[in-house]
């Protein structure tokens, strides 16, 4: 696995160096709200149920959207550690991540408009099991944090554009 | 459902107005990398498998981390539309969202350090089915976009702190 991944990374880097257009990718999410606050998501052929816990008005049939943000960060760190350890030839037996996010719900509930709606702070612990030296692992950490897509997405603003498409229903149909 | 949700929102707002501390919440993700780039996540009692497609070195046993970011945004928009439509008494039959994110993989693969690792742009279409007027739905859109937690998380920087915890293994054990 490790050799195959190392080869894939090297080949992909060479390909993207030669052809910048080949590096451009677009990912997509399609979702639709169901009963209450439950929503069903398609990510390519993968399905996901998202909901809110009862205290936030849902039936807890899945994680909520802000929990997905933490899952995205934790897993992106792990995958990036594995990829960069492999590429740099640094031994890495295991990697696991715990991430916490603090949110002040007065933002979402419009109780205080000076309170942001999203996370005020995110903290995590990355646990590495490795026979490498501390210096090598600090070097690895630097490479990972400079290239982890989700860490970049959270740390720096992403331009988001949302269009509205309205299908008018009759009052009778809506009742 | 709609009446129960409206009552819950009103009661929650009153509670948070009276007691700001009650509005502080912390969410958590725990994950551990398995074989290859597959990782298993726990979000409270919910489980999730995250992986990469083969072109990015994985076995595609689940969505990847940057897809989760798009799912988080789409579902957060839907839930926030439902909550604010209910609170404002604006009829809303259905809401669905498609979100796309553009990423230049030269960032993740360290081919060009001037290219960011995360999304360069995110675009979405929110599809509302409603008997409300266009003016009411534009008002709803304004309220939603001002209070959607994930839209805030993507649009504005979130302070992220990641600690490293190292468990030293012997070279023999790692081999």
First to last CA, chain A: 57
- Tell me which chain A residue has its CA closest to the CA of residue B92: A174
Position B147 confidence tier, pLDDT thresholds 50, 70, 90: very high
DSSP state of A137: H
B94, pLDDT greater than 60: yes
User: Is B118 within 8 Å of A24 when comparing Cβ atoms?
Assistant: no
Q: Tens digits of per-residue pLDDT, A151-162?
A: 999 999 999 999
Position A2 confidence tier, pLDDT thresholds 50, 70, 90: confident
User: Is A74 within 8 Å of B29 when comparing Cβ atoms?
Assistant: yes
Question: Chain-centre distance of CA B153, in angstroms?
Answer: 8
Residues 17-36 of B with CB under 8 A from A: 17, 20, 23-33, 35-36
Q: Respond yes or no on whether ipTM tops 0.85.
A: yes
User: Is A101 within 8 Å of B72 when comparing Cβ atoms?
Assistant: no
Residues 124-143 of B with CB under 8 A from A: 124-131, 134, 137-138, 141, 143
Predicted pLDDT of residue A35: 96
Predicted pLDDT of residue A172: 61
pLDDT, mean of residues B9-14:
96
Predicted pLDDT of residue A171: 75
Predicted pLDDT of residue B100: 98
B108, pLDDT greater than 50: yes
pLDDT, mean of residues B86-93:
97
A1, pLDDT greater than 90: no
- Tell me which chain B residue has its CA closest to the CA of residue A4: B57
A65-156: CATH number: 3.30.300.20
**Mean pLDDT computed over every residue of chain A:** 96
Residue A40 forms contact with B (CB below 8 Å): no
User: Is A105 within 8 Å of B23 when comparing Cβ atoms?
Assistant: yes
- Where in chain A do CATH 3.30.300.20 domains reside? 65-156
Q: What is the DSSP string of B40-74?
A: EEEETTEEEEE---GGGTS--SS--HHHHHHHHHH
User: Is A125 within 8 Å of B26 when comparing Cβ atoms?
Assistant: no
B82, pLDDT greater than 90: yes
Predicted pLDDT of residue A175: 47
Interface-testing mutation among A69, A130, A134, A155, with chain B (most B C-beta atoms within 10 A): A69
**What is the distance in angstroms between the Cα of A53 and the nearest Cα belonging to chain B?**
10
B66 with A28: CB under 8 angstroms? no
Least confident stretch, A66-75, A165-174, B15-24? A165-174
User: Is A118 within 8 Å of B23 when comparing Cβ atoms?
Assistant: no
**What is the distance in angstroms between the Cα of B133 and the nearest Cα belonging to chain A?**
8
User: Is B79 within 8 Å of A104 when comparing Cβ atoms?
Assistant: no
B1, pLDDT greater than 80: no
pLDDT, mean of residues A17-45:
98
pLDDT, mean of residues B142-148:
98
Distance CA A76, CA B113 (A): 19
Predicted pLDDT of residue A145: 98
B174, pLDDT greater than 80: no
Predicted pLDDT of residue A71: 98
Distance CA A114, CA A154 (A): 20
B64-157: CATH number: 3.30.300.20
**Dihedral sign computed on CA atoms, order A126, A149, B127, B132:** positive
- Give Cα separations from A15 to A19, A20, B93 (angstroms): 6, 8, 48
The bridge status of strand B94-104 relative to strand A24-33 is antiparallel
Distance CA A92, CA A84 (A): 10
Phi-psi region of A94 (alpha: psi -120 to 50; beta: other; left: phi over 0): beta
Which residues in chain B touch residue A159, judged by CB atoms under 8 angstroms apart? 120-122
User: Is B93 within 8 Å of A129 when comparing Cβ atoms?
Assistant: no
pLDDT, mean of residues A2-28:
95
Position B160 confidence tier, pLDDT thresholds 50, 70, 90: very high
B149, pLDDT greater than 70: yes
Which residues in chain B touch residue A151, judged by CB atoms under 8 angstroms apart? 117-118, 160, 162
Instruction: Supply the pTM of this predicted model.
Output: 0.97
Q: Tens digits of per-residue pLDDT, A61-119?
A: 999 999 999 999 999 999 999 999 999 999 999 999 999 999 999 999 999 999 999 99
- Kindly state the helix (H) or strand (E) to which residue B27 belongs, with its residue range: strand B24-33
Q: Tens digits of per-residue pLDDT, B30-71?
A: 999 999 999 999 999 999 999 999 999 999 999 999 999 999
Distance CA A149, CA A145 (A): 9
**What tokens does B48 get?**
């999730």
């Amino acid at each position: 696995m490790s050799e195959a991944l190392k080869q894939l990374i090297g080949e992909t880097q060479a390909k993207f160096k030669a052809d910048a257009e080949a590096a451009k990718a677009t990912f997509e999410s399609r979702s639709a709200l169901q009963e209450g606050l439950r929503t069903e998501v398609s990510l390519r052929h993968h399905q996901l149920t998202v909901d809110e816990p009862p205290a936030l008005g849902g039936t807890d049939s899945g994680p909520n959207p802000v929990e997905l943000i933490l899952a995205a960060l934790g897993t992106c760190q792990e995958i990036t550690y594995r990829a960069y350890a492999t590429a740099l030839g640094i031994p890495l037996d295991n990697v696991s991540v715990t991430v916490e996010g603090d949110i002040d719900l007065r933002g979402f509930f419009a109780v205080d408009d000076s309170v942001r709606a999203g996370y005020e702070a995110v903290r995590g612990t990355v646990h590495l099991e490795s026979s490498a030296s501390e210096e090598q692992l600090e070097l690895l950490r630097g490479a990972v944090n400079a290239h982890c897509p989700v860490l970049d997405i959270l740390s720096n603003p992403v331009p988001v554009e949302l269009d509205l498409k309205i299908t008018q229903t009759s009052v009778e149909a809506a009742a």
